[in-house]
A and B are shown apart, each in its own frame.
Chain A
């Protein structure tokens, strides 16, 4: 069975400092992995996706993630946090059978001035 584990439920950074949100995955097949962001009272927005092409994936708003098969990880990073980055972030793996998305528990990112 496929699954993802987000290693931190809450991350707090200062504005202008780097962001690291950690995610490990479990999959028998070459996975499709995603990061989604959810701002309060707004819908889920796709940040980036990995579908077995380049291992370093660039997304919107300066975010990127690196697929590391040896570590079964897909961590999300951003060089410099902005106040508008404060939100809930979900690491997601896609089922190779049905295409359904399997979400992690989420990481709340707090950005302090």
Chain B
């Protein structure tokens, strides 16, 4: 089966610009996650969707970050305006459900550099 797709793979912007990332989860997966991985650290969850509803966005900087999952399939993550500290890899993951036995499958990530 096809894996989690993300685009673009790389993005370089200047601070105060805006940027958007796209994720297409594995077909049939109801749960979708966006993680931020800063260099040298483990990924940190930004937002979790169950179908098109938000389950957890407690660590999403809502003054500049937004995400949506219209129709419960694809998702976009937007940053506006970007700051230097937003430089990171943004990972999308999906799982069939959100129970303990459900495996999360990760996409290749989008590497964002903010200059």
Q: When A98-B56, A99-B98 are in contact, do A42 and B108 touch as well, CB less than 8 Å? A: yes
A101: Cβ under 8 A from any B Cβ: yes
The 8 A CB mask of B77-115 against A (1 = contact, 0 = none) is 000000000000001010101111111111111000000
B90 CB, min distance to chain A CBs, angstroms: 12
Q: A51-B100, A99-B48, A100-B56 are in contact. Are A90 and B42 (CB under 8 A)?
A: yes
Kindly identify which residue among A43, A94, A96, A103 contacts B42, using a CB–CB cutoff of 8 Å.
A103
- A52: B residues at CB distance < 8 A: 100
Q: How many residue pairs at the A-B interface have CB separations less than 8 Å?
A: 61
Flag whether B31 is at the interface (Cβ < 8 A). yes
Which of A32, A43, A103, A105 is B100 in contact with, Cβ under 8 Å? A32
Contact A104:B100 (CB < 8 A) given known A43-B109, A98-B56, A99-B95: no
Most interface-central of B43, B55, B91, B102 (chain A CB within 10 A): B43
Which residues of A lie under 8 Å from residue B91 when comparing CB positions?
43-44
Cα distance, A99 to B4, chains bound together (Å) = 18
Q: What is the bound-complex CA distance between A101 and B42, given in angstroms?
A: 10
Q: Does B60 contact A (CB under 8 A)?
A: no
Q: Tell me the smallest distance from the CB of B83 to a CB of chain A, in Å.
A: 22
Chain A: residues with CB nearer than 8 A to chain B? Answer: 32, 36, 42-46, 49, 51-52, 90, 92, 94, 96, 98-106
Q: List 20 A-B contacts (CB under 8 A).
A: A32-B100, A36-B106, A43-B3, A43-B106, A44-B43, A44-B93, A49-B103, A90-B42, A98-B56, A99-B48, A99-B97, A99-B98, A99-B99, A99-B100, A100-B33, A101-B33, A101-B35, A101-B104, A105-B41, A105-B42
